Amino acid sequence: MPATDRVAPRLAALAALAALLADETRARICLALLDGRAWTAGELARCAGVAGSTAGEHLNRLVEGGLLAQERQGRHRYVRLAGPRAARLVEDLAAHVAQVPDPPRTLRSASASSAMARGRTCYDHLAGRLGVAIAEAMAARGLLRQHPGLTLTDAGLRWFADQGMPLDGGGRRPVARGCVDWTERRLHLAGAAGAALCRRALEARWCVRIGTERAVGVTAEGGRALGGLLGIEAGTLR
């Protein structure tokens, strides 16, 4: 088989994938789903500012294209990103294009933008200044290596185990990886380690979700916990 014949199917698949995110409504939907939760079709329609029928058409394309997964409960249709690989694709594209955000037009949007920059979930791990502060504090304590990419040291693996968050390195997902933060332009911690830490932070209420967006805020208890565990000054988390 000629080389061009072997490459053609991959080119067609790549073009089809790119076309899924070439529409602003579909891109907005995927960015909203980076909070790691399942949303109803109606919620995503309101988020994207389109009619329910229009949102449904876009969701069908994203599900068929493999970027989203769906399930039905009664008359409600819930959709989420298909998995960590789909989330990483959206994260990386967002980081690549996010240079200077549009200026907020209202006080409410300015407040939401500021909260997202302070701390947010990026699919299943922590991002924003909060996520970057955690990654840098872990590196300072010898728990992470930052170059050439974020990797856990042996001390880091023991730290996670000591905190009741043992990491299984046998899966296809990397234990740790660096994710370029689109507001801070520095790396925060993703992978299985980032997901475990985010899950603990939410379950222990070190962090709480703010509104319906991906923003999270650090509680007083969270400030004490992160200060004690990683030496992060509480002022940097607010």
Q: Which of 57, 82, 107 is the last residue of a domain?
A: 82
Q: In Å, how far from its chain's centre is CA 47? A: 17
Extract the tokens encoding 145.
Answer: 């290596």
Do 110 and 52 lie in a common domain? no
Do 98 and 201 lie in a common domain? yes
Domain count of the fold of the chain: 2
**Which residue, 151, 159, 156, is CA-closest to 177?**
151
Do 72 and 99 lie in a common domain? no
Q: ω before 104 within 30° of 0 (cis)?
A: no
Q: Which of 47, 66, 82 is the last residue of a domain?
A: 82
Do 76 and 192 lie in a common domain? no
Do 110 and 218 lie in a common domain? yes
Total Cβ atoms within 10 A of residue 123: 25
Do 129 and 11 lie in a common domain? no
Contact 91, 123 (CB under 8 A): yes
pLDDT in tens, the chain (238 residues): 555 566 677 788 888 888 999 999 999 999 888 888 888 999 999 989 999 999 999 999 999 999 999 988 878 889 999 888 888 888 888 777 755 455 555 545 445 567 788 898 888 899 999 999 999 999 999 999 988 778 999 999 999 999 999 887 556 778 998 888 878 878 899 999 999 999 999 999 999 998 766 889 999 999 999 999 999 987 777 6
Q: Which domain holds residue 72?
A: 3-82
